[in-house]
Amino acid sequence: MFTRTRRLRKSSIMREMVKNVTINLNQLVYPLFIEEGENIREEIDSMPNQYRISIDNLENELKEIVELGIRSILLFGIPKIKDEIGSEAYNDNGIVQKAVRFIKEKFPEILIITDVCMCEYTSHGHCGILNKCDVNNDITLKYLSKIALSHVKAGADIVAPSDMMDGRIEGIRKTLDENGYVDIPIMAYSVKYASSYYGPFRDAADSAPSFGDRKTYQMDFRNNKEYFREIEADIEEGADFIMVKPALAYLDVLKAVSDRINLPVVAYNVSGEYSMVKAGSKNGWINEKNIVMENMYAMKRAGADIIITYHAKDIARWVKTGEIIL
């Protein structure tokens, strides 16, 4: 007799009962782009329904996020002034620092993660201090530590270094500990590939490099072994979360990382992945809601504990209107 696996798929109630991969809104993180200036709420051309927002327009956005049941956000800053050393990144009155203080005052219930990098703040668009045409790893560590400390002093709950410099977790952990912030977690962008999926984000954050690329510090997707070295190093240096970025093209890596470590695993569902879904939906080629949820469950099935996604508000709305059941 052949096996009748269809018995457990006979009805929606049956399928709900036996499913073993789950998602809840507490596991979703919504990214926000905060731009220095006033009266700004500018839609990002390559990322429909995503905006660059000034602090004076932030309150309504945050009210909506809270009402939808999203509890965690990831902040990216877009300053007015950029220079060779990204000085606005570690300015205590910089755009991210001001935004963090504003959010903590108005919405203390929101958990704030801040991106720690220099690409949005440097005039050349690279993620650190240059030595001719390449980033000087060890000098950059000092600047990254200053950025992380300034974010935490402003009230950030978690710092998330995305630069991919060797040793940055150790440097940041030491700086935070020495300044009394021993309880602040570090969400490490441990497995971050040099990916074409970041294109729309670079439009959003004005962070495209003015020359060359980032392949000397971001990882080569043709190598299927080096991510173990990255995660092991970050764990030894004091990381509290391990991230894989991008997510969908790297589900094999996400699964391998999840199987190997016992820290929370974060998947970043990046801008290019988001924009492709939005473009397909706009053209009527796909069912957006179904594709989004299939992608979310793929990341969860591969082992993600937390998902950073620009779809978070859409998912929360679908839950609220009863269009989907998580």
SS3 state at 43: strand
Residue found by looking up tokens 């993600």 in the block: 304
Q: Any alpha helices (H) in the chain, and if so which ranges? A: 12-18, 58-68, 95-106, 137-154, 168-178, 199-205, 226-237, 251-260, 271-282, 288-302, 312-320
| Rg of the chain, C-alpha, whole Å | 20
DSSP string of 234-253, one letter each residue: HHHHT-SEEEEES-GGGHHH
First to last CA, the chain: 35
Residue 325: what residue type? I
Residue found by looking up tokens 């700004």 in the block: 40
CB 50 within 8 A of CB 310: yes
Residue 60: what residue type? N
DSSP string of 184-209, one letter each residue: --BEEEEEEB--GGGHHHHHHHT---
Tell me how far apart the alpha carbons of residues 185 and 72 are, in angstroms, rounded to a whole number.
14
Active site residues: 192, 245
Q: What is the dihedral of CA 137, 142, 145, 146, to 10 degrees?
A: -130
CB 159 within 8 A of CB 136: no
Tell me how far apart the alpha carbons of residues 101 and 108 are, in angstroms, rounded to a whole number.
10
Tell me how far apart the alpha carbons of residues 291 and 325 are, in angstroms, rounded to a whole number.
15
Q: Is the Cα torsion angle 272, 273, 279, 282 positive or negative in sign?
A: negative
